[in-house]
Structure 1
Amino acid sequence: MNDVQTTAQTLIPRDLDKPLHTQLARFTHGVSPASLAGAYLDWLTHLALSPGKQQELLVKAVEKELRIAWHAFLGPFDHCKPCIEPLPQDRRFSAPEWQEWPFNLIYQSFLLHQQWWHNAASGVPGVTAHHEHVVTFATRQLLDIVSPSNFLLTNPEVQAATLKSGGMNLVQGAQNFIKESLRLAAGRPLPGTENFRPGKEVAVTPGKVVFRNHLIELIQYRPQTDTVFAEPLLIVPSWIMKYYILDLSPGNSLVKYLVEKGHTVFILSWKNPSSRDRHLGMDDYLKAGVMAAIDAVSSIVPGQKIQAIGYCLGGTLLGIAAAYMARHHDERLKSLTLLASELDFEDPGELGLFIDESQLSFLNDAMANKGYLDGKQMAGAFALLNSRDLVWSRMVHDYLMGGKHPVNDLIAWNLDATRMPYRQHSEYLRHLYLKNDLAEGHYLVDGKPIALSDIWIPIFALGTRRDTVSPWHAVYKTHLLVPAEVTFCLSSGGHNVGVVNPPGEGVKRSYQIATRKAGARYIDPDTWQASMPEHEGSWWPALEHWLRRHSGERVAPPAMGNAAGGYPVLQDAPGRYVLVP
């Protein structure tokens, strides 16, 4: 009886944590205040105990002030070069107006102070690497708030637009702000998204749902050629997104592109989970997701091996499935394609800033009541990773310049948020991101570890140069983890645009590609990038050529579904699950 009372007395106070953390998570986009405070305390304490670092920062501060002062003195008499150049990805000060006095001094002074704060936040002896990255990132976000590009009085582009329009840009911007505020308060969707509805304007490649369980629908696409390659393709998108990013409007659809090239394509559509699915874990997503889909494809196209394609965490899950199948001598996979997918999470880029014990505890409490993580919170965290382009530049464009961003299919898809079940989200963050179990051989399936080194099928791995979700250096580590033949492709663009990268005119695209034979020597990623030739255009034809090379003869298209084998046609694509808000 005393034990029961003690347990009750412990649980009741702890239950007070969850509502607090749930409310905090709404304002912080799921970022733990304790995690952030701990990082700054670590940094500040070690900085206070490092007089050498303090002296170094003092010298740098004096040097930077002298540089800007000398530049200010010479500026009116000489068109000298800026005393500091923005980073290549920083386009805030690229307009000619910024090179005129006094705005050239304003933005260069800001960049010098930004550089000084980076020096202050990094290289402090004793600070953990994780805390240093958190402080550097958070400080940069805070400085971006006060960038001179964000204010009317210090932005010459906005001033020029105001003079030209007689102030109408500010009137239009105020109207944009009011409309956006009212829309967000009412919970209404962004105007224009109604023009990109799944099954109407996007996700329109003809196909049928041929399998459904409590977690997935499997779509088989109707062949569009007289003959097809014998081996079918199975695409596994990430569970944190709706599948139709790979089947957007017809001109942006990788699915349509592959079907038109003569491939039999299947794609997995994840259910958008609710609170009733809180118990689903990573094993469920493996067994009821990927393995169930492989069983279905093997029944519909019997006697043929499968070329599996995974995007983002869908590729990670496919890597787990491939290692699991190798352990059981299951040889149904012919090849493995990983699109912006990590198998090693030791250095997951800026997304790793949100992963530590404090952060996971905070997220678990925030998810506990609902039983899932709201996709809007995840979208907010992704926006923080690229706030310069996704937040501040947009606010300047919409509220100061009075412009409007047109909604396209990719933006509409990005706003079609999904949820993640409590157990599964907690497991993949802890076992993949925090502990890196998959790369280190500790990831358990059925209670036994699996090994990526057991994978011997050919791999096509795609990295994208500006990816903050799956940094290409992390994707490149596939070479270290898998002994099989690896074809690595590095594409221009970011995590989404670098993948949704169709052939066509008018958009500058490029990629590098090379194949490492099984057992060949390792080349580090930077040496690889510097030595590989660059090809203009989309990487999609390179992928299709690689898939074709690993395919057999062309045959008559298979039937849609296999009713006799338990996989009847259920309904037209895009199915039911993708429409669940």
Structure 2
Amino acid sequence: MHALSPLDVQARAALAGVTGSLSPQSALLAWVDWATHLVASPGKQSDLAALALEQASTLAGYLRECMIAGPGQAHACIEPPARDRRFAAPEWRSWPFNLWHQAFLLNQRWWEAATGGVPGVERHHETMVAFAARQWLDVFSPGNQLATNPVALRRTFEEGGANLRRGLGYLVDNIERRLAQQPPAGVESFQVGRDVAVTPGKVVLRNRLMELIQYTPTTAQVHPEPVLVIPAWIMKYYILDLSPHDSLIRYLVAQGFTVFCISWKNPGVEERELGMDDYLALGFWAGLDAINAIAPGAKVHATGYCLGGTLLSIAAAAMARDGDDRLASLSLFTAQTDFSEPGELGLFIDESQVTLLEAQMQQQGYLRADQMAGAFQMLRSYDLIWSRLISEYLLGERQPMNDLMAWNADTTRMPAKMHAQYLRRLFLNDDLSEGRYPVRGRPVSLGDITLPVFSVGTESDHVAPWRSVYKLHYLSPAELTFVLTTGGHNAGIVSEPGHPRRSYRVKTRHQGEGYLDADAWLEAAMRKEGSWWPEWSQWLRVRSGTPVDPPDTGAAASGYPVIDDAPGRYVREP
């Protein structure tokens, strides 16, 4: 890493403001790498030309069949990918929309072949080019235009254009809210402390980085081992305490556990120099010290979600190295510890991209949520961008706001120093899995962790792909129970009992057993219907002692008196 001069910082920060915080040099290098190697590969060019001729012939044959048998009777010449729902409506089988969407899918298949398998192209560049090609193709999908979308045309005909009038109203409202920096419509129905984050509790610790909430017990006795929850600071903690019916924290309290949760401060310019060491010291270890004082002698079930789980893994490795045995177990939800294959999010993490972000953060002191949102939305462009635009602006349907959507709109910032360290040490250098990550001046190794581990991955996670999360199996020899649940990075975790269409797979690798790769695990794991929450609760219960009377909440004698009612002050900060 080379330090940037003040002039370079200004130049790169200005560039980031124009490009949406994405590095144009990184994209250009990828395209040049792909294009020059494709030019030097006549065999690949020949294969692509043959594929184009074959697809043209296939499409012509489909057209003939449509003319003879009728559009609804012709057999599709290409089926969309399993997760592609754009052309599922029966209207797409009518003329000429059937021909248009079949031609689009064939074109998409050709570009997949064109951007992959070109000899000599760096893997990262190949992935970037393939991703960019998909984004551009999505722009020209026939479903995105009124004139070529049969569902939107039918709705317009049936309603006499009322859907388009509603869509225009939604567009104006969205623009006005964006300009006024207001949240999306409907968020006002989910006020923190009134509608969400309402599990009763008390703030018993507040420092410059976090508040520690101790939740009020609802059972006569509790297991002696408290649960400490460390959420990610890229999000506000109450995703784990949404509405009463889907609050993981409320559920855990009802199962007889004493629950503590960290609520991170939303950082501003004053917190620009807070780094990963501060999140360990002022976050995890400060919280653990408080729990030790409130419940003396009790070991702690430590639980980390997303980036909070990565931080917890680092802390647990340091504690194992130093002989600190205050933890009873580790639970990690969608938390990566090996970043060698981070999934499509890695498209936006390379030296050029990180340098650009560092300059931008150095100038303003933090990274805003909207500067990260574009990358996350592009990872699921159809679900998060195009389907919404079609639904709101063409069909005139605005999806009702729910608690998870409202939480997602309640954004946070990232301190400049911490985020730069996170991107470089973990994403770029993979220091944690390689045994180079320093804590208190010495490196830690995940191989030192022997505590029982409960790890959760989600099937459609674009932020922490489950196969990446699974890699903890070969980094730590500990007993490891791995759960793979349906859903995405957030919805798969907020998966309360009774949630429809939920299932999961589970299998335990006992300490000392041999390594099982992800594909073999998938075949061997037991599939169960419903929520994984009871599985986790039972796992904790087995590793807990005989229930006892609950510890006092905010007892002055512990040195941690009550400061405030839950959900506290920090979660309400804009």
- Residue 126 (structure 1) aligned with residue 120 (structure 2): yes
Q: Percent identity?
A: 53
2:109 aligned to which of 101, 111, 115: 115
Of 7, 12, 17, 1:21 maps to: 12
Query: Is 2:35 the counterpart of 1:44?
Result: yes
- CA distance in 1 between counterparts of 2:302 and 2:532 reads 18
* Matched residue type, 2:38: L
Q: What is the CA–CA distance in structure 2 between the aligned matches of 1:27 and 1:177, rounded to whole Å?
A: 23
SS class of match (2:331)? strand
2:507, 2:526 within 8 Å by CA — same for their partners in 1?
Answer: no
- Residue 49 (structure 1) shift: 1.1
CA–CA distance in structure 1, aligned partners of residues 520 and 438 of structure 2: 34
SS of corresponding position for 1:461: strand
Q: Which residue of 1 aligns with 2:531?
A: 538
SS at match of 2:211: strand
The residue aligned with 1:218 is: 212
Distance, in Å, in 2 between the alignment partners of 1:391 and 1:225 is: 44
CA drift at 1:183: 1.8
Q: Distance in 1 between matches of 2:182 and 2:301?
A: 41
Query: How far did 1:23 drift?
Result: 3.9
Residue 32 of structure 1 corresponds to which residue in structure 2? 23
Segments of 5+ residues of structure 2 without an aligned counterpart are none
Deviation at 1:343, TM superposition (A): 0.6
Distance in 2, Cα, partners of 1:527 & 1:454: 25
Q: What is aligned with 1:515?
A: 508
Cα offset for 1:14?
4.2
How many Å separate the matches in 2 of 1:500 and 1:148?
A: 34
- Distance 1:349-1:578 versus aligned 2 partners, 3 A rule: same
How does the TM-score come out when normalised to structure 2? 0.97
Q: How far apart are residue 18 of structure 1 and its match?
A: 3.1
Output aligned runs, 1:38-187, within 5 Å: 38-78=29-69, 79-187=73-181
SS at match of 1:535: strand
Looking at structure 2, the residues matched to 28 and 218 of structure 1 have their Cα atoms a distance apart, in angstroms, of 38
Task: Letter of the 2:63 partner, please give it.
Answer: A
**What's the TM-score once normalised by structure 1's chain length?**
0.96
Q: CA offsets per residue over residues 171-221 of structure 1, 9 Å max, x none?
A: 111121122112212222212111111111110000000011111110000
Contact kept in structure 2, 1:208 and 1:220, CA below 8 Å: yes
* Amino acid paired to 1:73: R
Match of 2:457 in 1: 463
CA contact (8 A) 1:203 1:247 kept: yes
Confirm or deny: 8 A CA contact 1:30 1:381 kept in the other structure: no
Structure 1 residue ranges (4+ consecutive) displaced by more than 6 angstroms after TM superposition: none
Contact preservation (8 Å) 1:46, 1:126: yes
Mapping of residues 429-578 of structure 1, within 5 Å: 429-504=423-498, 507-578=500-571
Matched residues in 1 for 2:497 and 2:434: separation?
Answer: 38
Q: Is the 8 A contact 1:26 1:377 kept in 2?
A: no
Specify the code of the residue in structure 2 equivalent to 1:105. L
Query: For 2:128 and 2:539, how far apart are their aligned partners in 1?
Result: 40
* Aligned-residue offset at 1:423: 0.6
Equivalent position amino acid for 2:305 in 1: Y
Letter matched to residue 421 of structure 1: P
Task: After TM superposition, give the deviation of residue 20 of structure 1 in Å.
Answer: 4.0
Which whole-Å CA distance do the structure 2 matches of 1:558 and 1:58 have between them?
Answer: 72
Q: CA separation in 2, counterparts of 1:177 and 1:198? A: 27
Counterparts of residues 3-402 of structure 1 (less than 5 Å) = 14-78=5-69, 79-402=73-396
The one-letter amino acid paired with 1:545 is Q
Between 1:234-243 and 1:560-569, the stretch displaced more is: 560-569
Aligned partners of 1:394 and 1:26: how far apart in 2?
25
Contact 1:299 1:562 in 2 (8 A): no
**Distance in 2 between residues matched to 1:175 and 1:408, nearest whole Å:** 21
Please state whether the residue corresponding to 2:553 is helix, strand or coil.
coil
Which deviations, in whole Å up to 9, do the C-alpha atoms of 1:382-422 show, x marking residues without a partner?
Answer: 11111111001100001000111111111111111111111
User: What secondary structure sits across from 2:484 in the alignment?
Assistant: strand
Are the counterparts in 2 of residues 467 and 493 from structure 1 also a CA contact under 8 Å?
yes
- AA matched with 2:561: P
C-alpha distance in 1, partners of 2:375/2:527?
A: 33
Tell me which amino acid in the other structure corresponds to 2:194.
K
Are 1:68 and 1:83, in contact at CA under 8 Å, matched by a contact in 2? yes
Cα distance in structure 2, aligned partners of 1:198 and 1:147: 39
SS of the equivalent of 2:364 reads: coil
The one-letter code matched in structure 2 to 1:217 is E
The one-letter code matched in structure 2 to 1:250 is P
1:26 deviates by 3.7
In 2, are the aligned partners of 1:29 and 1:381 still within 8 Å (CA)? Answer: no
Aligned residue in 2 for 1:3: none
Give the Cα separation in 2 of the matches to 1:364 and 1:240.
17
Amino acid across the alignment from 1:549? V
> Aligned equivalents of 1:365 and 1:174: distance in 2?
38
Q: Deviations over 1:326-362 (max 9, x none)?
A: 0110000100000011110110001111111100110
Structure 2: which amino acid aligns with 1:314? Answer: G
Q: Secondary structure at the match of 2:47?
A: helix
Q: Shift of residue 163 of structure 1?
A: 1.1
Q: Deviations over 1:507-533 (max 9, x none)?
A: 211100111100112111112212323
C-alpha offsets along residues 282-336 of structure 1, whole Å, 9 cap, x if unaligned?
Answer: 1111111111111111111111110011000100000000000001100001000
- C-alpha displacement of 1:113: 0.5
The alpha-carbon distance between structure 1 residues 493 and 27, as it changes in their structure 2 partners (threshold 3 A), is farther
Are the equivalent residues in 1 in contact too, given 2:62–2:75 (CA < 8 A)? no
Instruction: Give the whole-Å Cα distance in 1 for the aligned partners of 2:521 and 2:19.
Output: 39
SS in structure 2 of the partner of residue 520 of structure 1: coil
- Give the Å deviation of 1:96: 0.8
- The aligned amino acid for 1:129 is R
| Count of aligned pairs between the two proteins | 570
Name the residue aligned to 1:6. Answer: none
Measured after TM superposition, the shift of residue 58 of structure 1 is 0.8
Give the superposition deviation at 1:22: 2.9
Code of the aligned partner of 1:153: A
Q: Secondary structure at the match of 1:228?
A: coil
For the residue of structure 2 that corresponds to 1:477, the secondary structure is helix
Q: What one-letter code is carried by the residue in structure 1 that aligns with 2:512?
A: G
Q: Which moved more, 1:194-203 or 1:320-329?
A: 194-203
Alpha-carbon distance, 1:101 to partner:
2.1
Cα distance in 1 for partners of 2:75, 2:229 equals: 51
1:7 maps to what in 2? none
CA deviation after TM superposition for structure 1 residue 553, in Å:
0.5
